[in-house]
Chain A
Amino acid sequence: DTEVTQTPKHLVMGMTNKKSLKCEQHMGHRAMYWYKQKAKKPPELMFVYSYEKLSINESVPSRFSPECPNSSLLNLHLHALQPEDSALYLCASSQVSGGQETQYFGPGTRLLVL
């Protein structure tokens, strides 16, 4: 199984809503990532969990909150988002092995904030 799954595929939310994006992998990978991708732009790293330890891109606003319940699951909690947060949110995982890692990406969640 070399698949990273993400739910939901699409999400529309208002600026006062609270929602969560979910990501799951069963490849035994110990690093999981959240990326944000705007249209026609490259993905930008938001968060990394490696062995359940969190690394943050400091430019990411606090209205995004990651959670790693276990090594197979990664959530992204959303609260009080802005219209400019509308984007494709990609989850990825990789095995941590001294630079010999291939990142596997999920299909993404397309988020629209109204």
Chain B
Amino acid sequence: KQEVTQIPAALSVPEGENLVLNCSFTDSAIYNLQWFRQDPGKGLTSLLLIQSSQREQTSGRLNASLDKSSGRSTLYIAASQPGDSATYLCAVDTGGFKTIFGAGTRLFVKA
């Protein structure tokens, strides 16, 4: 059974700091891994999608990496801003329309 774990559960950093969010999964047989952002009480916004054959994806200040063999992904946020404060979720697509989410990392960036 696929399990997705995110560490840390919560993180508070000063503005401008670079940070890394971690995601691990137990079964390496995945189609892709996706990072989402969720603001309180809101829906999910897709940030980056990494196919199983890819090692990383970049979008602006965000960089996501994927190491399937070790069951790990990281989301790197450069020069964090208060507007980055949100919950970040990673999700793995195991095929058959089964997307398994991690519990998320709640990020707070202090001005």
Which residues of A are at the interface with B, using a C-beta cutoff of 8 A?
4, 6, 31, 33, 40-45, 48, 50, 55, 88, 90, 92, 99-108, 110
Contact = CB atoms under 8 A, between A and B. Distances in A.
B89 A42 contact: yes
Contacts of B4: 42
Nearest to A31: B97
Interface residues of B, number: 26
Contacts of A45: 97-99
List 3 A-B pairs, minimum CB-CB distance, nearest first: A42-B101, A99-B31, A105-B44
B32 A99 contact: yes
Nearest to A99: B31
Most buried by B among A90, A103, A104: A103
A4 B41 CA distance: 16
B47 to A, nearest CB: 10
Contacts of B93: 99, 101
Given A99-B31, A99-B52, A42 B104 contact: yes
Contacts of B60: none
Interface string B63-105: 0000000000000000000000000010101011111011110
